[in-house]
Amino acid sequence: MNQLTLGEHILCPEKIPSLASKAHNRFRLVLCVFIADVICLVLGALLPDLWLPGSSGSALAMLPLMIVLHALSGFWLRAFSGEALISARLSVRLAIGSNLCAAALLLFILFVLQQSQIVPRLSFELTLLTTLFLLLTGRLLLARYARRSLAGQLHSVVRIEDDGAATTIWPVDQAMPARQLRWDIGADDPLGYHELATLVGNADRVVVHCPDNRRPTWVHIFQGLNVHGEIIARELGRNPPVGIGAFNGEATLIVARGPLGLSDRIVKRAFDVAVSSLALLVLLPLILGAAIAIKLDSPGSVFFRQPRIGRQNRQFHIYKFRSMLSDGSDSGGVCSTLRGDARVTRIGRVLRRTSIDEIPQLINVLRGDMSIVAPRPHAVHSMAQDKYFWEVDARYWHRHACKPGMTGLAQVRGHRGTALEAKDVQDRLAADLEYLNKWSLWLDIAILFRTLRVIVHKNAF
């Protein structure tokens, strides 16, 4: 047996228990999910053709294109990501979303090519419903299997406690005992490097807690280990950085990057322009009717403009249908609207109750001041319990890292109307910050559909 002498110890590398990486297992599971999706698509196209007498086989003819579109939609929506492996709810939602996107793209392609008549409506609908049911069932079963296969965690993690005198290695999520490293990391020792690599070299993530003076040593070790290494920095707990950068040869802590990258902003802007343009065309009769009703109900302009806080805490003017008497309108937002407010006109109550007064904000979306979905913009002087909103919670300014929206996560959760209490502000802020941290196009679409249920709301007055 090949034995290596380490100080007074005899080191037998092959006997040291090694933490297993989950990377290969994750790849295998993602491949299984993709193959299972393809099988669901094949069965979804095959079964309706067997059930329908005299079927033309159009679903099978479109199957190759549908598989390609489902794969593209799935990778775009991250339906084959690691997070979707162990979360049954997320996996089902993303798989169904991918298939619906693929079906919509297929119909669009057939329409452009003027070939939509080759797919009978009944056959298409039955194929889609069958496929969605199979995807739901398959993803639920695979998520259960993946959780068991990955022991409930996507990554294998090792925690290292280094107090300067002893170094203890703790496998976090695998049934392995803690082990004390026999090597003093302060000494360059090939056998010591070998021992550490054998213990943690296959881990997906290694987290070290050590004294400040040992941090440079661990940085040096990690750079040669080729692992994802992290050092706990408790002093940064209240203001955690998001990365490390450099300026003029000196290291910098990156404390903010903005919630959306360039590609995400392009996707979101394209979504905003498409939805707002279509909505303005569809709602044009309603817009004209509301404008006429406002002019007939009370003297004054049709639109109401008010300064609001927008992206990067810059101010912009928001457009709304005027719902108050002209001499009672509060352009600064100092006096919040209360239930039964005498300033609100008769037609204004209807507009506010049905959220029709918000429709002109589609113009703000086209101008680039707002998005369809994002945290709602507040008036500059909005107050709750005699405090400005930013005095209630200093994180209030963080919500303006992206453009404000016509609707948002807070609104679909029922946080609408005037914020009179500090808790009202805190509840909305919590939802807004959650949205910024979890943004995706799928989340925007989901919030947009959920908004349809709260257009008429008891707190809209």
Tens of pLDDT, residue by residue over 93-124, are: 999 989 998 888 888 888 777 776 777 777 78
pLDDT at residue 459 is higher than 60: no
Q: What angle do CA 113, 116, 120 make, to 5 degrees?
A: 160
For residue range 217-228, list pLDDT tens digits in order.
888 778 777 778
Q: Is the pLDDT of residue 9 over 50?
A: no
What is the overall mean pLDDT for the chain? 81
Residues 400-450 have pLDDT tens digits of 888 899 999 988 888 876 777 888 888 898 999 899 888 888 899 989 988
Residue in this structure with the two tokens 């100080």, named with its chain if needed: 7
**What's the average model confidence in pLDDT over 301-306?**
90
Q: 133 vs 394, which has greater pLDDT?
A: 133
Q: Give the tens place of pLDDT for each residue, 156-200.
A: 788 888 887 778 887 776 556 677 777 777 777 777 777 787 787
The pLDDT assigned to 335 comes to 59
Residue 362's pLDDT is 95
Check whether 318 has a pLDDT greater than 90. yes
Q: CB–CB of 331/378 below 8 Å?
A: no
